[in-house]
Amino acid sequence: MASTGSQPAVNGGEDIPKVALIAGITGQDGSYLTELLLEKGYEVHGLIRRSSNFNTQRINHIYIDPHNAHKARMKLHYADLTDASSLRRWIDTISPDEIYNLAAQSHVAVSFEIPDYTADVVATGALRLLEALRSHITTTGRTHVRYYQAGSSEMFGSTPPPQSENTPFHPRSPYAVSKCAAHWYTVNYREAYGIFACNGVLFNHESPRRGENFVTRKITRAVGRIKVGLQSKLFLGNLQASRDWGFAGDYVEAMWLMLQQEKPDDYVVATEESHTVEEFLEKAFGYVGLNWKDHVVIDKRYFRPTEVDNLKGDSSKARKVLGWRPKVGFEQLVKMMVDEDIELAKREKVLVDAGYMDAQQQP
Ligand SMILES: C[C@H]1O[C@H](OP(=O)(O)OP(=O)(O)OC[C@H]2O[C@@H](n3cnc4c(=O)[nH]c(N)nc43)[C@H](O)[C@@H]2O)[C@@H](O)[C@@H](O)C1=O
């Protein structure tokens, strides 16, 4: 098992920090992973997509203006998983020791609306990154570079739980099919070219930084806003789906641990507990003394053409080989998210009362 101590991560005993490259640094997982790697002494480079509005809210607290170059240990570069030339250029320029591919169009329901784009980013995007890495290794001889691919429990789809590394995939959405392709590209590049490439098959992982149209955050945002009087109804789809929900901050540690092993391999990362959306509602509303049944309205638009009914991981391999364990349980996770969203709603309320913001319903 690799050391998890807080010694600075250095290359070959020299006083040069290890360099990590993260695709998807602006997302929930990217922000937690960046914090973890900076704490371990890494220099972190992140690839960001151009958008008309800044999309760096989750990493703004870490950002240091590059004009203070000697202090800035996180650096951001424009690139895109749909643009092979940008991937190749940044890998060659940065010369990373570790590459984490966390970039995706990660919303399952949205993947039914934009399937081509989802496949381009999630499946072919992973292939582009692996290919850029392969050619970087061939040209430079830097064979020690390690690659992490963010896999998903969605790949198991309709295969009944518990799901482990040996469970067959039966994906149920364009997103999940694309993740299966990315998984097998990663295995293939490991077998064909000997690249140190790992798949982390992560079950759902949430946090106060979760995007607001994933069900957990949609619920906790609504709880906060209902509690302070900014919202009354919450529109949801299938409440009977069951998920193995963990804390994202715990899961990024598993990603890092995978790349510290002697050999590359694939690992399931899960809490091994599953709860329905209805149970999440009960916990979240109940925590602040509300009854979810007074507020939730079922809306057909949030049902998916094909649903994944029941996910519950068997993460015994990660626990044994990586020594990884989740630290935050289901109840603690719900409370952490509700607490933060109550604070956020209180701040919104001040702006609404002062006329600076409309009290709109959440999407
Ligand atoms: C591991 C995996 O985890 C995530 O995928 P997900 O499990 O689809 O996450 P979700 O929060 O969108 O849905 C969870 C469940 O909740 C049901 N549900 C009901 N009502 C609403 C609703 O109103 N909105 C949403 N979003 N879901 C709803 C919905 O039908 C589903 O059964 C992504 O990070 C993905 O990238 C990933 O890899």
List the domain range (segments joined by +) for residue 137.
19-210+245-273+311-328
Q: Across the chain, what does the average pLDDT equal? A: 95
| pLDDT digits 0-9 by tens, 205-238 | 999 999 999 999 999 999 999 999 999 999 999 9
B/e letters for 93-122, b = 16+ CB within 10 Å, e = fewer, are ebebbbbbbbbbbbbbbbbeeebeebbbbb
The span from the CA of 327 to the CA of 18, in Å, is 26
Instruction: Dump the DSSP string for 249-316.
Output: HHHHHHHHHHTTSSS--EEEE--S--EEHHHHHHHHHHHTT--GGGTEEE-GGGS-SS---B--B--H
Residue 1 has pLDDT above 50, yes or no: no
| Residue 236 near residue 277 (C-beta atoms within 8 A) | yes
| pLDDT digits 0-9 by tens, 233-270 | 999 999 999 999 999 999 999 999 999 999 999 999 99
Instruction: Dump the DSSP string for 8-45.
Output: --BSTTSS-B-EEEEETTTSHHHHHHHHHHHHTT-EEE
| pLDDT digits 0-9 by tens, 283-330 | 999 999 999 999 999 999 999 999 999 999 999 999 999 999 999 999
Residue 152 appears among annotated catalytic residues: yes
The span from the CA of 163 to the CA of 270, in Å, is 10
Single-letter residue type at 162: P
Residue nearest to atom 23 of ligand 1 (CA): 236
| pLDDT digits 0-9 by tens, 95-116 | 999 999 999 999 999 999 999 9
CA R_g for the chain: 21
| Residue 1 near residue 323 (C-beta atoms within 8 A) | yes
Give 4's pLDDT tier (boundaries 50, 70, 90).
very low
Give 69's pLDDT tier (boundaries 50, 70, 90).
low
Both tokens of residue 303?
């049902």
Q: Which of 106, 111, 152, 242 is catalytic?
A: 152
Ligand 1, pocket residues at CB < 6 Å: 106, 108-109, 152-154, 203-204, 213-216, 218, 236-238, 241, 243, 277, 302, 304, 307-308
- In percent, the amount of the chain with pLDDT more than 70 equals 95
The answer as to whether 91 is a domain residue is yes
Helix (H, G, I), strand (E, B) or coil at 330: helix
Residue 175 appears among annotated catalytic residues: yes
- Looking at residue 68, its pLDDT comes to 72
Whole-number Cα distances in Å, 273 to 156, 160, 230, 308 = 16, 14, 33, 16
The answer as to whether 76 is a domain residue is yes
Query: Domain holding 94: CATH number?
Result: 3.40.50.720
Residue 280 has pLDDT above 60, yes or no: yes
The answer as to whether 169 is a domain residue is yes
Residue carrying structure tokens 């109804």:
233
Residue of 121, 156, 214, 297 best suited for mutating to test ligand 1, as the one with most atoms within 8 Å of CB: 214
Helices then strands, each counted (H, E), the chain: 11, 13
Which atom belonging to ligand 1 lies closest to the Cα atom of 213? Answer: 26
The answer as to whether 45 is a domain residue is yes
Q: Which of 43, 98, 154, 348 is catalytic?
A: 154
Residue 7 has pLDDT above 60, yes or no: no
The span from the CA of 258 to the CA of 101, in Å, is 13
- Looking at residue 5, its pLDDT comes to 42
**Angle separating helix axes 125-140 and 174-193, nearest 10 degrees:** 20
Whole-number Cα distances in Å, 67 to 34, 46, 50, 201 = 20, 17, 21, 38
| pLDDT digits 0-9 by tens, 136-170 | 999 999 999 999 999 999 999 999 999 999 999 99
Among candidate residues 165, 185, 205, 167, the one with its CA nearest the CA of residue 122: 185
Both tokens of residue 41?
């002494």
| Residue 338 near residue 227 (C-beta atoms within 8 A) | no
* Beta-bridge partners for 146: 98, 196
Domain tally for the chain?
1
User: Mean pLDDT throughout 276-281?
Assistant: 99
The answer as to whether 84 is a domain residue is yes
- Looking at residue 145, its pLDDT comes to 98
| Residue 130 near residue 186 (C-beta atoms within 8 A) | yes
The answer as to whether 2 is a domain residue is no
The answer as to whether 298 is a domain residue is no
User: Mean pLDDT throughout 73-99?
Assistant: 97
Both tokens of residue 193?
């070219």
The answer as to whether 200 is a domain residue is yes
HEC readout, 43-100: EEEEEECCCCCCCCHHHCCCCCCHHHCCCCCEEEEECCCCCHHHHHHHHHHHCCCEEE
- Looking at residue 32, its pLDDT comes to 98
* Beta-bridge partners for 20: 44, 98
> What's the pTM value of the predicted model, to 2 decimals?
0.95
The span from the CA of 173 to the CA of 154, in Å, is 8
